[in-house]
Structure formats: structure tokens, C-alpha cells
Amino acid sequence: MRADFDALAAFGATPKGGVSRPSLGEAHLAARAWFLRRSQEAGLETRVDAAGNHSAILRSGRSAAAPTLLLGSHLDSVPDGGRYDGALGVVAALHVLLAVQKAGADLSVALEAIDFTDEEGTLVGLLGSEAVAGTLTAESLRAPRGGREALLAGLELAGLHEERLAEARREPASLAGYLELHIEQGPRLEQEGAQIGVVTGIVGARSFSLVFRGAARHAGTTPMGARRDAGLGAAAFAVAANAVVARDFPGCVATVGDLRLEPGAFNVVPGSARVALELRSPDAVQLDELESALLGEAGLAAEQHALGLEAIPVGSWEPTALDPGVRAAIRRAAAALGLSTLELVSGAGHDAQALAGVTRSGMIFVPSVAGISHDAGEHTRWEDCVHGADALLGAALALALGE
Amino acid sequence: MRADFDALAAFGATPKGGVSRPSLGEAHLAARAWFLRRSQEAGLETRVDAAGNHSAILRSGRSAAAPTLLLGSHLDSVPDGGRYDGALGVVAALHVLLAVQKAGADLSVALEAIDFTDEEGTLVGLLGSEAVAGTLTAESLRAPRGGREALLAGLELAGLHEERLAEARREPASLAGYLELHIEQGPRLEQEGAQIGVVTGIVGARSFSLVFRGAARHAGTTPMGARRDAGLGAAAFAVAANAVVARDFPGCVATVGDLRLEPGAFNVVPGSARVALELRSPDAVQLDELESALLGEAGLAAEQHALGLEAIPVGSWEPTALDPGVRAAIRRAAAALGLSTLELVSGAGHDAQALAGVTRSGMIFVPSVAGISHDAGEHTRWEDCVHGADALLGAALALALGE
């Protein structure tokens, strides 16, 4: 498994030691091609569906119509990302199939290691897994996060057809469940000294562009009291939002990830400020409350600085609970391996949230050193990677055997 | 004077009703050429010096060696600026010469209406007036505000030579003083209901790039308490800086005019924030105190958010006092015209601050409607423009006659 992990890390390798494999770019497609070739050479059946998802399949010896237990993750990365995010889960899934194949075990389900298209959202986000779940909408393809042009160019390069993506949908009855191994991308497992994270659910998120509008004025001639400083209003909002979340919403996060001032010069009081706000909560009701509290703070900041305010929703996903039966299977598999576990919520989005709508789904996390992710410095100790793959194998067998 | 003002406003006219005449661009050079032609047609002597300053001259009938009373301003504008900033002072200066010429008055000084090169600083800032004062440095030409390439392109287009700019220097003994009519660019005259502003001095200013450095992290997986959010530190600084200036430094201003977050995405905690900070005070000691208070606040904000901080000075000019004798002459001229006056400090920089180092200098302000400037919405009522020109004529005659 180590050799395969290292081989994958060569695709889109960056000077800093990470990888850059944006969805359906050259490096991503090369990594996917390697995955198919490696699977074929190991004697596995392979498949590429209408959404470009790449799979290696180990059929059940008992029935050609046996349902499929999907083991997945993704080979795309954010630009200048790390080696572990996604790739670890795909390599581990492949090696679960190889272990079962080698053992000659006769399961009542087919095992499928699947590399989903465009998890990271440099194009759309969860494109492949939503296509499989049947929830990919025409709307998300019309105005994708990465821009319409990039999407069309990627589809073309990958030989995919927009109007056929939805054909990747699977009948829920054809699925026996979904399991994903992934790095945590946060610091909690490391802080708590736990080896295996049993993911209870995936947070919901909302994002807004908040536009504060004041009056651009000469910074030398406009007294402090005569200003309608949009940048100051935005800064006051950022400070207040942080304080409200830290005080009233434990377990939630809110982030001002970007802030653009216009005209943006040393000697001009900013006339407008555009704030990129994102908030996340594991609970749907709390997510509503958090949104309402933060938009309230934005309104207050605008009022106090005599500014106009527009709040433009730019993204939203609901919290997802993961299957209690699958969580129990992961806990038992870890216990059998002598690995310590911690139940935790995923603060990041994953393909599992798409699959959870159509089949019993679960996720296994392994620790991220210092919680670093989406960066070349992303690292998981190799023994933790192996622990994760072992737990994935144990949980998959438990689900396959109906334990 | 109205016809000439309107003719000038056609050069670089913008759809919104302002002008865009960046230094030594096509529109600016066309406006300057018009000024020379108009002066020549009126029978005035004209001159373009080695720094590109354009002048109309009315010689003294008494002596060819008589010293020169300069009446100046500038015909360049900020990009997408207004019609009044600079142009009003040049047109009014020209009409002072025309009035004296028409009256056949025999003065002991030469009168020179001068249009200084690059006042606004789209290239260097005060280039022409500093050349005349002998304070233009090679350093400011090596790393100009607008970039070295833009400066060289402008000089080329205007037929000027970098190595000869300094030849525009005038012997202080050859000057009888400097007077400038300008719009206030702020709201004070309008607020106080005064018709003429007698400028007591020009504020000093300092500017800094403050770079806060934290850690870029996944916004979903990094708990609020585990963040080193550079954007939050910068926002806290902006709020604190505003409060300190408003509370402890009356008559001063401080502005966060720009704020750049890296990497600048919805789902990433900002790893670094670059703040454009500018501060201004009419008093040199107070300017030092203000700088020290604000850099102290930046240090506190960095400490509270576990951030690194670098403060890079990017500009500085000292406060300039204007000549008490010239101020008295302006006050008397306004009183003789029945115009109300207000003494005030200029929050903006002007060519007068360069001239004040070598000759007695003064400035007359007229009200800016709503304090708007550097914008197409910049406006001064025409009767206020005429009052300003009348006061300029009165003050110039008083200085010329040694009253």
C-alpha cells in the first residue's frame, strides 16, 4: 500500500512536497488512469461511469446480482494541496479489495473501490458522488463554483458529456452501503490521542457574500466623524462575528475568509467592502440560529457605521448524520484491532454526505499532524494510515458479512 | 473664466461628468497644450521648464529682473477624478494675469500662472513643484508610487528627460512668493458656512503596510480556539485604530484604505493579512505620537491573535506651516470683498508644501459640496469659484504691492 500511495503522490507533485491535482486537469486524469491500470494489473474488473467515476470491482462469487458495498474517496485535490486528502482513501479501498481477493473470501456483496469525480469543488464539488446518488442538479452545473468555462473544459478533456452525467445514478437497492477512509484535516484526534475517528455526521454549511456600502472619500480631508467607512464596518462585523460564535455557538465555526475593499488605496476611505462569510454547524436548527445571529451582527455593524448592507447567499448544504449501524461496525473493527477511537463530527464536506441519502454510509478518520490540510504540509503518520486501512477492511468485512 | 474652465473639463472628460487626466497621459498633455495656446492667444509669454511645468507669464514693466510671484496649481487628475481639483486654481491664476494685463497695472513683480507636473502622484507626486523647489530626489524617481515603467513612459510621451528634471530649480531669490487657489476636498467650509478658507498649514502623513501573519487552515475542520486568523487580527486592529484616533487624536485622521487576505477563500482561515494604513496630523510631534499609538495597537492585535507582525513604512511627509504674512493678505483680501473666512488645515497634500520650503507660500480654499473629491461627483458652486478667484487676485495684488 505504501508503494501505491507514493506512486500516486508523483502525479501533480509540487516542489513543496504536496500535490496539485484540480479536478479533470492533466495531473488528475493521469492519477485516475494509473488507478485503473494498477487495478487491472491486479486482476480486478474496472469501470468508468458516465460521471467519470473510476472504479475497481471485486465481484461476489455467490451472485452476479449481489449488491455493491462502495469503498470510496477521491483523487482530485485543491490547488497546491497535500498528498493524503482523498488519495489515502482510494489506495486503502483498493487494498481492501486486494486483501479480500488474496484471502479468497467469498462475500455476499460485490466490493467496489471508487474514485469520485470532483470532490474538492474546483469545478462543482461532489459532482461524482451526487451523480451516483441521483442528486446532481442542472442548476449546480449551470453556475458551478469554479466557473462554467472551467467545467466545460474539464469535461471535454476527460471525454465526459454534461447531458449524460446523471446516467451515473445507481439504484439504491443495488447498494449495500458506503464506507470512506479519510484524513481528519483538523486537530482533534491528535489532541485527544485517539487513533481512529468514528464520524457521527458531517456539518452543514452556509456561505454569504456580505456587501457593505459606504462612501469613498479622500482620506486626508474627511474627518473621522464625517466618514461612512465600509472597511471599518466590515472589520467591526468580523470581530463581532468571531466573538458571538466563540461565546454562543460551541462546536460551530464561522470564518471571514476574504475581504475586498474598494477602491482599495492608502489615501481613500473605502466606499465598499465585500466579505466572504462561511458558517458551519453539525445541527440543522443550530445552523439556522447561527446564520440569523451572524446576519444580525452584520446588520448592527452596518447601522453603527451608516452603511448599506446586502447579504447574498452563495452556497448551502445541510448537516448529514451518518448511519448508526455503520458507526458501530467501525467501532467494533477498531476495538478488534486494539485501536482507540473517538466519535467526532466532520467539519469538512465529503462524498459520504451525498451517499448517505441513498445508502447506509460511514466514515473513518485518521489523525492529521497539527490539523494541517489543503496545504503541502498536510501529513498523517504512515502507521496511522495503516491503522485506518485495517479499520476500513474490518468494517467492510463486518458489513459484507452482515455482522 | 467660466468658458475656460468648461473648455478644460473637456480634456479627459468621463461619462459620469468628471475628468480622468493621469499625469503625462494623452488627456493631461492635451489640457496643458490648451493652456499654453490660450495664454499665447491672450498675448502672454509662455514657458515649459525642464520638469514639464507649463507657465503663462506677465512681466513687470519696471524691471526685467523683477522677482516672480507664482500663482499655481495642476492640470493632472486622479483616475476618474473631478473637474475642479487643480484645474480651478490654474484657470483662476491665468485670469488673475489677464485682469492685471487688462487693467494695465504696473507691478514690481512678474506674475506667473504655473501648471505643475504630476501633483496627484499617479507617477511620483509633487514632481514639478519639488523640481522647482530643488527638493526632487533621485530616490523618489527610482521607486515612484506609480511604478518606474509608468514614469519613464510618461516622461517619454511628454518629451522630458529624467536627468534634466532638476534643472527646473529656481533660485529662491528669484521668487516673490507662491499662492494657490484650490477646492477644499473636505466638508468643513460648507459645514461652517464660510466662503473662503485660509489655509494655516498642510498636514504631515505617514503610511505603512502592516503584514499580520497567522496560519492558513481549513475553515471547516479548525475549531475557533485553534486558529491563528490573520484576517481577524487585522480587523481587530482596524477597529481599535479607529477608536484610538477618534478618542485621543482630535484633528487627526487614520485610515485603513486596503486590506488583502491570503489565500482569500470562503473555506480557508486567512494565513496572512496586508493592511494599508495611513495617518495624518497637522503637528509634527502629534504625528509621531499618533504613529506610535497605532503601531502599538497593531502589536496588541497581533499578540492577542497569536500573529506575527511586520510594519513596513511606505511613505512619509512632514507637516508644513504656511506663511503668516500670506495668510494675513488672504484674510484682508477676503474681507475687502465682503467674504467670510475660516482658518483651516489642509488634510490633503499640495504643491504649496514644496514651495513653502523656498518662498513665502499660502493657499486659498473654496467649499466642496458635501466634501466630495477625487470623484466625478466633486463639485464647487460657480459663485464660490468666482469668490476664490477674486480672493486670489486681491491677495496677489497685496503681495505684489508689498501691502
pLDDT in tens, A149-207: 999 999 999 999 999 999 999 999 999 999 999 999 999 999 999 999 999 999 999 99
Does A187 contact B at CB distance below 8 Å?
yes
Topology of domain A204-317, per CATH? Alpha-Beta Plaits (3.30.70)
Nearest-Cα distance to chain B for A150, in Å, is 18
Nearest-Cα distance to chain A for B267, in Å, is 6
Does A286 contact B at CB distance below 8 Å?
no
Domain covering B2-199+321-400 assigned CATH 3.40.630.10 in the classification: yes
Does B44 contact A at CB distance below 8 Å?
no
pLDDT in tens, B349-366: 999 999 999 999 999 999
For residue B11, give the nearest of B22, B1, B2 by alpha carbon.
B22
Contact B181, B197 (CB under 8 A): no
* Partner-chain contact B257 A269, CB within 8 Å: yes
Chain A residue numbers with beta carbons less than 8 Å from the beta carbon of B261 are: 257-259
Q: Do B2-199+321-400 and B204-317 agree at the fold level?
A: no
Does A280 contact B at CB distance below 8 Å?
yes
Give the domain ranges of chain A. Answer: 2-201+321-400, 204-317
Count other C-beta atoms under 10 Å from residue A254's C-beta: 24
For residue A287, give the nearest of A170, A381, A202 by alpha carbon.
A202
Q: How many CB pairs under 8 A join A and B?
A: 204
Judged by CB atoms within 8 Å, which residues 228-257 of A form the interface with B?
229, 231-232, 234-236, 238-239, 242, 245-246, 253-257
* Stated pTM of the model: 0.86
* Partner-chain contact B270 A258, CB within 8 Å: yes
The residue of chain A nearest to residue B220, with distances taken between CA atoms, is A347
Closest partner CB to A235 (pick from B222, B235, B346): B235
Beta strands in A66-136 (DSSP E): 68-73, 110-115
Q: How far is CA A186 from the centre of its chain?
A: 13
Name the percent of chain B in helix, strand, coil, to the closest 5: 40, 25, 35
Judged by CB atoms within 8 Å, which residues 299-318 of B form the interface with A?
314-315
Q: How far is CA B114 from the centre of its chain?
A: 15
Q: Which three cell numbers stand for residue B152?
A: 519613464
The C-alpha cell 448592507 sits at A309
The residue of chain B nearest to residue A208, with distances taken between CA atoms, is B266
Chain B residue numbers with beta carbons less than 8 Å from the beta carbon of A261 are: 257-259
pLDDT in tens, A78-128: 988 999 999 999 999 999 999 999 999 889 999 999 999 999 988 999 999
* Partner-chain contact B226 A372, CB within 8 Å: no
For chain A, the residue count is 403
SS (H, E, C) A362-396: EEEEECCHHHCCCCCCCCCCHHHHHHHHHHHHHHH
Nearest-Cα distance to chain A for B245, in Å, is 8
The residue of chain B nearest to residue A282, with distances taken between CA atoms, is B220
At residue B262, the pLDDT reads: 93
pLDDT in tens, B37-72: 999 999 999 999 999 999 999 999 888 889 999 999
Between CA A52 and CA A24 the distance in angstroms is 9
> Bridge partners of B183?
B366
Nearest-Cα distance to chain A for B360, in Å, is 24
Closest partner CB to A278 (pick from B219, B221, B276): B219
The residue of chain A nearest to residue B267, with distances taken between CA atoms, is A257
Does B219 contact A at CB distance below 8 Å?
yes
Between CA A112 and CA A53 the distance in angstroms is 11
Q: How far is CA A375 from the centre of its chain?
A: 14
> Bridge partners of A191?
none
Q: Which three cell numbers stand for residue B208?
A: 505603512
Between CA B120 and CA B157 the distance in angstroms is 18
Between CA B136 and CA B129 the distance in angstroms is 8
Closest partner CB to B347 (pick from A220, A225, A261): A220
The C-alpha cell 469501470 sits at A47
Closest partner CB to A218 (pick from B185, B238, B254): B185
Between CA A366 and CA A387 the distance in angstroms is 8
Nearest-Cα distance to chain B for A246, in Å, is 7
Topology of domain A2-201+321-400, per CATH? Aminopeptidase (3.40.630)
Taking only Cα atoms into account, the Rg of chain B, rounded to an integer number of angstroms, comes to 23
Between CA A170 and CA A177 the distance in angstroms is 12
For residue B186, give the nearest of B176, B177, B200, B197 by alpha carbon.
B197
When scoring A252, A267, A269, A373 by the number of chain B Cβ atoms within 10 A, the one with the most, hence best to mutate, is: A267
pLDDT in tens, chain B (403 residues): 999 999 999 999 999 999 999 999 999 999 999 999 999 999 999 999 999 999 999 999 888 889 999 999 999 999 889 999 999 999 999 999 999 999 998 899 999 999 999 999 889 999 999 999 999 999 889 988 888 999 999 999 999 999 999 999 999 999 999 999 999 999 999 999 999 999 999 999 999 999 999 999 899 999 999 999 999 999 999 999 999 999 999 999 999 999 999 989 888 899 999 999 999 999 999 999 999 999 999 999 999 999 999 999 988 889 999 999 999 999 999 999 999 999 999 999 999 999 999 999 999 999 999 999 988 999 999 999 999 999 999 999 999 988 6
Hey, is B396 helix, strand or coil?
helix
